[in-house]
Structure 1
Amino acid sequence: MKKKRAIVFSGGRLGEEDLQYIQPEDFIIGADKGALFLIEHGIIPHVSVGDFDSITLQQKEQVESASKRMIACDPVHKDLTDTELALEIAMDEQVDHVLMLGVTGTRLDHTLANIQILVRAMQHRMSCAIMDAHNYIELTGSTLEIKPMGYTYTSLLPMTAEVTGINLEGFMYPLHNATLKMGQSRAVSNKLTALKGTISIESGLLLVIQSKD
């Protein structure tokens, strides 16, 4: 039987407010400094994973002793980022959905890499979302339903050279059989006007970002 959801706490920007998103049946994964964050707030990760190069040796020992399971890897000889390792674990657990927290921050390279990780989740037929204090990020290759979550804007950005057959319902600026090409910004800063919105596409991969200032 599949677990309902995995929640990943990575080593980017995290705050106590992020703990509110943990549900009783979540499979909790701490990636690198994200594992320490959980333990310092009284949350026991099911798995802690990473090279742990952003914490001290004493903190690493704290993570190891408090986690149900720990997977440590060499900081040099590894092919995956800590967040991607966490996603691999979620895939192994065969969850239906992954929520990733602490995967955005000051390192733009890590932020962009983590956004691209959404493609890997989709390839494994697993829904995945990134959340921080100002954004909720999803990827779709077919249909996505948008509900009010306290965000002001909904923006669409192509993750492939072009996305075709885009239809929007329930938004201030509807689209009908539209095409977006990489580098175009015509679908930025739309607004939900109904109790729910629907985004559907025919081909390509579309990044959907709900955001607020």
Structure 2
Amino acid sequence: MAEKRVLIFAGGNMSPVYLEEIRPNDLIIGADRGALFLVEHGIDPHISVGDFDSITQDELDKVRSASGEIITCDPVNKDLTDTELAYVIALDHQATEIVMMGVTGTRLDHTLANIQIMLRGLQHQIQSAICDTHNYITLTGSTSVIQDRGFTYVSLLPLTPEVTGISLTGFKYPLENATLRMGQSLGISNQLVEQEGTIRIESGLLLIIQSRD
């Protein structure tokens, strides 16, 4: 299957620097206020989705005119967040990689839900990532190669009660066949010592968070 990367721009903390992630063949989805962000920065979303309860009617008209397709839903009678709706659309379009921006911010409940959404991609063998100005977050259940993206730290946090058989290469603090359990901080604030590092695990789900202050 040909590679198909999908970028989702949502309504959380946004920055024009995120636009630098866009590549010529990316499918661009704007979720609610994220669609307006794209339009206001000269990017026409291929798909805009959401209840659009966070923008005015004039702003929604701008989004409608700029979007290749718009999918609306009722702001009350819906089971999914706007970000999850966008993620489902990305899966329906047979994405091979999904990068989400504007999905972190002051609402910790939304941030945690968006981190957990990546599990759905992993179940379909699709790599997902969350990107903001201070973090780049991915999820692995096997092997992951981490590129140096200019972040200071790489932290490992279990998303299951325990993650076993963790082995690291290319890091300041290597691990060999280690186990991380929820509530432990052993995996916090490691650092790459090469341009890329490799993380291997035998069981469980591991969050990989590249971060800077």
Using the size of structure 1 for normalisation, the TM-score is 0.98
- Match for residue 136 of structure 1? 136
Deviation at 1:57, TM superposition (A): 1.7
Aligned equivalent of 1:64: 64
Structure 1: 4+ residue segments shifted above 6 A? none
Deviations 1:115-163 (A, max 9, x none): 1111111112111100000100000000000121100100000000110
In structure 2, the residue matched to 1:119 is 119
60-69 or 72-81, which deviates more: 60-69
Name the counterpart of 1:45.
45
The alignment partner of 1:118 has SS state of helix
Shift of 1:59: 1.1
Distance, in Å, in 2 between the alignment partners of 1:206 and 1:87 is 20
Aligned partner letter, 1:89: I
1:55 is aligned to: 55
Distance 1:159 1:123 in 2: 14
Q: What residue in structure 1 maps to residue 194 of structure 2?
A: 194
* Cα distance in 1 for residues equivalent to 2:54 and 2:108: 17
2:208 alignment partner, SS class: strand
1:73 is aligned with what amino acid?
C
- How far is 1:4 from its partner? 2.2
Q: CA deviation at 1:177?
A: 0.6
Counterpart code for 1:57: Q
Deviation of 1:2 after TM superposition, in Å, equals 3.7
Could you list the per-position Cα deviations for residues 14-65 of structure 1 after superposition, in whole angstroms to 9, with x for gaps in the alignment? 1111111111110000000000000111111010001111111221122112
Tell me the SS of whatever aligns to 2:77: coil
Aligned residues: 213
Q: Please say if 1:21 is aligned against 2:21.
A: yes
Distance (Å, rounded) in 2 between the aligned partners of 1:194 and 1:44:
37
RMSD: 0.9
* Cα deviation 1:84-129 (Å, max 9, x = unaligned): 1111111011011011110011111111110111111111211110
The CA deviation at 1:3 is: 4.8
TM-score (norm 2): 0.98
Instruction: Name the amino acid aligned to 2:73.
Output: C
* Structure 1 residue ranges without an equivalent (≥5): none
Letter in 1 for 2:124: H
- What secondary structure, in the 3-state scheme, does the structure 1 residue paired with 2:91 have? helix
Q: Percent identity over the alignment?
A: 63
Q: Which amino acid aligns with 2:85?
A: L
The question of whether the paired residues in 1 share the 8 Å contact of 2:148 and 2:195 is answered with yes
Amino acid at match of 2:170: G
- Whether the 8 Å contact between 1:2 and 1:95 is mirrored in structure 2 is no
Match of 1:171 in 2: 171
Hey, what does 1:207 align to over in structure 2? 207
Closer, same or farther in 2 for the Cα pair 1:111/1:21, shift >3 Å? same
